[in-house]
Chain A
Amino acid sequence: MNLTLKVWRQKGPADKGGFVTYEMKDINHHMSFLEMMDVLNERLEREGQEPVHFDHDCREGICGSCAMHINGRPHGPSKGTATCQLHMRLFNDGDVITVEPWRAKAFPVVKDLVVDRSAFDRIIQAGGYVSVNTGGVPDANEIPVPKKIADEAFNAATCISCGACVAACKNASAMLFVSAKVSQLALLPQGKVERKNRVERMVAQMDAEGFGNCTNTQACSVECPKEISQDFIAMMNREYIGAKFTSDNV
C-alpha cells in the first residue's frame, strides 16, 4: 500500500521544528510501524539525509522506549499496545499518517521524535523503592503475600515507563505512572514500612518536574500500553492525603 507520512522533524531542543511529508510506496502490511519507519530511514540515509530519530529497543512492547504520537493518539490507534507493536495492517492504502513526539513540558524534545523522559527516573529516585540493602533479608517465603494482593501489585508493576499516559493526558499529568509505582509498593508488605515517606516524596518530585494535575479524564488508562487501571490513581490520592495528615514530616 501507499501512504503519506507527516513526521515531526526537529534538529535539537533549540530548533523550532516542523512537519516534513514523506511519500511511502509499497508498504507491506505485515510490517510493524517501526519497520515502516526503518524503510523510510534507510531511504533517507541513502539519499544522504539524516534519518528520523526515534527511541526504540526491544520492539516487543516491554522496554518502554518507543514513543510516537500517531494520528493524534499516543502509540497509535490500537488498544493496549506500544508503538513497536503496531502493525501496518491497521492502516489503509492512501492514509495520511501524522507522527509527532510526546508533548509535555516535563518531556522536552531532544531531536525529531526523541524526548527526554528522565523526569520519570527522578521520580523513582525520590522514593520509588524499598530501602533494603543487598543481603541480610529474610527468606522469601517468610513474607507471605495474599495472591490477590500480589496480583494487584503485579498489575501496577507492569508499567513500562513509556510516558504515554503523560502524552495522552490533556493536562500532561504523570499520575498514572507515579500511582502505579506508589500502589505496587504500598500494596506489598515489603513496601508498607516506607509508604508514607514514599508517596510524599514521589508526589513532590512529580510536581517539581512540571507535570500537570490529574482531572480524572482517564485518557491515560485508555492509552496505556499496559492498561494500568485508574484504581491506582485513587489509591495514590488516598495514600497521599493519608500520609500528609498522619506522617511525622512537619
Chain B
Amino acid sequence: MNLNSRIPEGPLAEKWEKHKFNVKLVNPANKRKFDIIVVGTGLAGASAAASLAELGYNVKVFTFHDSPRRAHSIAAQGGINAAKNYQNDGDSVYRLFYDTVKGGDYRSREANVYRLAQVSVNIIDQCVAQGVPFAREYGGLLDNRSFGGAQVSRTFYAKGQTGQQLLIGAYQALSRQVATGKIKLYTRTEMLDLVMIDGHAKGIITRNLITGKIERHAGHAVLLCTGGYGNVFYLSTNAMASNATAAWRAHRKGALFANPCFTQIHPTCIPVSGLYQSKLTLMSESLRNDGRVWVPKTVEDAEKIRKGQIKPTDLPEEARDYYLERRYPSFGNLVPRDVASRNAKYVCDEGRGVGGTGLAVYLDFADAIRRDGKSTIEARYGNLFEMYEKITGDDPYTLPMMIYPAVHYTMGGLWVDYNLMTNIPGLYALGEANFSDHGANRLGASALMQGLADGYFVIPYTMGDYVASLPFKKVDASHPAFDEAEKAVKDGINKLLSIKGTRTVDDFHRELGSIMWEYCGMARNAEGLTKAIGLVQQLRADFWKDVKVNGSAEELNMSLEKANRVADFLELGELMIRDALHREESCGGHFRDEYQTPEGEALRNDEEFSYVAAWEYGGFNGEPTLHKEDLVFENVKLTQRSYK
C-alpha cells in the first residue's frame, strides 16, 4: 500500500494557503445534493457538522450520548492554545508550530502542525463570536496563561471549564443548524459499522440505543469524530463511555490505524483508592506551578506513612525527596507530562510511594501557602482543592495532596492524510480519533485546539476536494453492501447475547486494563510486551467464550453496549502492544526501558523510527501489517529533549 500524505508542495508557511486554492470547490447550489455523515459531537464533530451545514451540505449527526453537549470534550479543564501573541511575549505561529513538533518528540508531520498553528488564531475569534465566555482582564480583553510548561502565555481558558464552554459553543452552532433543518440529529445512536461500496465509504450501520433497532444511513462521505481510546486501560481520565468502536470497525474495513502505542499518561490525577475504582479524575496540571512533588527519602518512612503510623506533615524536610527538583533543577516540578509521570512510577516502584496502595506521590502546597498566603492559593486553585476534598475527603490546605499518573489522551488514531482523509476514500477522521498532529506526545491545551481546527477550519475546505469529484446521485441504502454490513452487526450482537458465560463485561475490561497498564503503560520493554500479546489474546478468547450479557437486543441495554465496546478494545489492545513492541526507541509517551540515555531519559532513534507506523488490519487473530509513512523534517532540527 502506498501511503500518500498529500502534503502540498512549497514552503511550509504557504502550503495551506496554496492547498486551499488548489482544492476543488463544490458549487454552493450543489452542496445540498450531498449527504454527509458525521459521527461524534465532541469539539471535532460538532464544529465540523455545524460548519458543513452552514455551507449547505445535508448533514446527519450521530452520537451515543443523549445530547450532543455531553461528548467527552466537555471534561477538558485547562485551556486551549492559540498563537495570538496577545501577551506580547514572543509567541507566533512558528513558535507554536515549533513547540508542538518538539513536544511531540518529532513524530508528527510538519505541514499538519504548521497548519494547526495557523488556524489556531481563527478558532479563538470564532469561539468569542459565538459567546464563549473566556477569562478576561479588567480592561475587557482576553486573558491568557502559560500552560504545561510553555515558555509563553498562549492558553485561553474559561476557569476550569474550557472544554465545556468550547463544546457548548460548538453545540449551539450545531443546534442552530438542527433548527434550520440542515442537520438531522441522531442521539443515543451508536455507529457499529462502516459501509463501503467499491472501496469508498458510503454509509454506516447504527444501533438505536433506546429501541435496539439496527439502522442504515447512506452518505457521500463519513466523518469519524469519535474521540480517543484511552479506555483500553479501563481506568483513565476519559469519560466512562469513551470508546474505540467506530474507529476500530473502520479499521477492520481497511482504514489504517497509526501509532496506536502513543498514549499520554497525565501525572496529576487522583490516585486509585480501591478495586471498585471506576475512573480517574484529572487534577489540572496548573497545580504543578505551585505544588512541590515529593516522596519520603526512605522506604521505611514511606511504609510508616502507608500504615498511617506517621502523617506526611510529621516528616522533616531532610527526610523528603523532592525528586523532580532534584533531578531536573531547571524545570523542576514543571517537567513535561511524560517525564513527571515516569518519575512518579519509578519512586513508587522503589517502594517509596504513599497512600493506602503505595501508588501515589505528594503534591505539597505548604511552601506556596507559606509564601503567598492561603487566600492567594485559594484564589488560584480553590475549586480544584474543593474537588479534591470532595473525592478524597482530605483537605489539601493542611495535608499534602496525593497524585498519581493516569492514562489521559491517545495520540494515535486512524491514519489520515493532509486532508484528514483516511486511506479509505470518503472516510475522514477528526479530533482525537485521528493520529495527526501531536506526534508521540501532546502538549497541554492542544487537543481542544486540534479538534476545533479540524472541524471549523480544515474539513470544510478539504472535504470538498473529494466530494466535488462525486456524481450528484443519492447513495443507495439498499445496496447489498448495506445488507451485508447490517447482517454482520446483528450477528455480532446476537453472538454476544448468546454466549451467556460467567464473567461480566467489566470483569474482562478490568483485566485488559491491568494488562495494558502493567506492560504497555508508562514504561515498556520487549519481554513484557511479548508476554502481554499472549495475555490479551487469551483474554480475548475467554471473552468470546465466557462473557455474560443479560437482557435483549431490542431495548436499552447498557451491558450490551459495553460488551460491544470491550470486544473492540480487546483487539485494539493487542495492536497497541504490537506497535509498542515494534517501535524500538523511546519517544514522547512511548518509553522503552531498553532505550534510554545514561541519565534515564527517552532515547529516540531517528535513523530508524522517524516514521508514522500505520497498521493494516490482519483479521481477528491474524497479524497486522505495518505500513510506514516517513516523516520529513525540513524546518525543525531534531534534538534530544532535555529538561535538566
Contact = CB atoms under 8 A, between A and B. Distances in A.
Contacts of B75: 58, 60, 62-63
A103 B506 CA distance: 30
Interface in A111-133: 111, 114, 116-118, 120-121, 124-133
B54 A34 contact: no
A45 B504 contact: yes
B239 A58 contact: yes
Contacts of B158: 154, 157
A154 to B, nearest CB: 4
Interface stretch (B163-171, B257-265, B593-601): B163-171
A165 B552 CA distance: 34
A158 B241 CA distance: 22
A110 interface: yes
Contacts of A128: 172, 175
A173 interface: no
A135 B126 contact: yes
Contact of A144 (B65, B141, B393, B506): B141
B130 A130 contact: yes
B124 interface: yes
Interface stretch (A35-43, A69-77, A91-99): A35-43
A83 interface: no
B276 A153 contact: no
B240 interface: yes
B281 interface: yes
Contact of B137 (A114, A129, A147): A147
Nearest to B277: A35
A140 interface: yes
B76 to A, nearest CB: 9
Interface in B29-88: 47, 50-51, 54, 65-70, 72, 74-75, 84, 86
Interface residues of B, number: 83
A20 to B, nearest CB: 15
B122 interface: yes
B140 A145 contact: yes
A188 interface: yes
A169 B138 CA distance: 37
A42 B506 contact: yes
Interface string A20-57: 00000000101110110011001001101111010111
A81 interface: yes
Interface string B264-282: 0000000001101111011
Nearest to B506: A42
Contact of A154 (B133, B141, B281): B133
B391 to A, nearest CB: 7
A65 B66 contact: yes
A87 B276 contact: no
B133 A184 contact: yes
Contact of B130 (A85, A118, A132): A132
Given A34-B278, A118-B66, A150-B133, A133 B551 contact: no
B129 interface: yes
A30 B391 CA distance: 8
A197 to B, nearest CB: 12
Nearest to A60: B281
A143 B67 CA distance: 30
Interface string B167-201: 01001110110110000010100000000000000
Given A51-B559, A154-B159, A161-B67, A62 B125 contact: no
A53 B66 CA distance: 14
A205 B502 CA distance: 48
A215 interface: no
Contacts of B460: 134
A158 B383 CA distance: 13
A38 B278 contact: yes
A59 B280 CA distance: 9
B128 interface: yes
Contacts of B481: none
Contacts, number: 219
A87 B270 CA distance: 15
B135 interface: yes
Given A58-B75, A185-B131, A141 B141 contact: yes
A140 B142 CA distance: 8
B142 A141 contact: yes
Contacts of A59: 239-240, 278-279, 281
Contacts of A147: 136-138, 140
B632 interface: no
Interface residues of A, number: 77
Contact of A140 (B124, B390, B504): B124
A124 B70 contact: no
B130 A138 contact: no
Given A30-B273, A188-B131, A124 B84 contact: no
Given A46-B504, A53-B558, A143-B129, A134 B72 contact: no
B274 A134 contact: no
Interface string A137-169: 111110111110011011001101100000000
Given A124-B171, A140-B84, A185-B131, A31 B548 contact: no
A42 B158 CA distance: 38
A149 B537 CA distance: 57
A49 B549 CA distance: 9
A140 B128 contact: yes
A66 to B, nearest CB: 10
Nearest to A139: B125
Contacts of A238: none
A55 B175 contact: no
Nearest to B140: A144
Instruction: Kindly name the residue among B129, B135, B277 whose own CB sees the greatest number of chain A CB atoms within 10 A.
Output: B129
A64 interface: yes
A191 B74 contact: no
Contact of B131 (A58, A65, A146, A184): A184
A32 B240 CA distance: 14
B368 interface: no
B131 A87 contact: no
A116 B178 CA distance: 18
Nearest to B69: A161
Given A45-B504, A111-B555, A150 B136 contact: yes
Contacts of B239: 57-59, 63
Nearest to B386: A80
A45 to B, nearest CB: 5
28 contacts: A28-B274, A30-B273, A50-B559, A60-B282, A62-B163, A62-B164, A63-B72, A64-B69, A64-B70, A65-B66, A65-B70, A87-B393, A124-B172, A126-B179, A129-B175, A134-B47, A141-B86, A143-B129, A150-B140, A151-B136, A154-B159, A158-B161, A161-B67, A161-B70, A185-B131, A190-B128, A190-B129, A190-B130
Please list the 3 inter-chain residue pairs (A to B) with the smallest Cβ-Cβ separation, ordered nearest first.
Answer: A144-B140, A129-B172, A137-B129
Given A118-B187, A132-B129, A134-B173, 19 more contacts: A28-B274, A28-B276, A31-B276, A46-B502, A49-B550, A50-B559, A58-B239, A63-B70, A118-B67, A125-B176, A128-B175, A132-B130, A134-B126, A134-B460, A141-B142, A145-B136, A146-B140, A154-B158, A161-B67
